């Protein structure tokens, strides 16, 4: 997966996992607790061995989102402000915003 290891129940090189694997499910999120990338909160919950900690609102400039298409990192602010990768223009799943509370404060 590029230079970034993605943990959890990953099923392809675009960071899709057993839980979320539509054409648009191509991001992984670095968790604040362990600074490791996982495709989703369920992968973290099932495989990390510790409780998840969300990124505080003050960490919006941290690179914590990985595009599974081009494998470039986005800041939290950039990711939350778009449904496409600013580098390769691949579309992200707009429904992911329903899960922000699992990752971001």
pLDDT, tens only, 15-48: 999 999 999 999 999 999 999 999 999 999 999 9
Secondary structure of 42-102 in the HEC alphabet?
A: HHHHHHCCCCCCCECHHHCCCEEEEECCCCCEEEHHHHHCCCECCCCCCECCHHHHHHHHH
Within 10 A of 67 (CB to CB), how many other CB atoms are there?
24
Q: pLDDT by residue (tens digit) across 68-95?
A: 999 999 999 999 999 999 999 999 999 9
CB 36 within 8 Å of CB 47: no
- Show me where the domains of the chain are located: 27-102
Query: What pLDDT does 1 receive?
Result: 47
Residue 41 Cα to chain centre, angstroms: 9
């Amino acid at each position: 997966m590029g230079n970034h290891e993605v943990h959890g129940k990953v099923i392809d090189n675009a960071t899709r996992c057993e839980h979320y694997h539509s054409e648009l499910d191509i991001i992984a999120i670095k968790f604040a607790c362990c600074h490791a990338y996982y495709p989703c909160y369920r992968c973290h919950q099932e495989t990390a061995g510790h409780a998840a900690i969300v990124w505080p609102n003050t960490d919006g400039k941290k690179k914590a989102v990985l595009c599974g298409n081009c494998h470039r990192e986005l800041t939290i602010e950039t990711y939350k402000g778009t449904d496409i990768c600013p580098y390769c223009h691949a579309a992200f799943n707009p429904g992911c915003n329903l899960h922000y509370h699992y990752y971001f404060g």
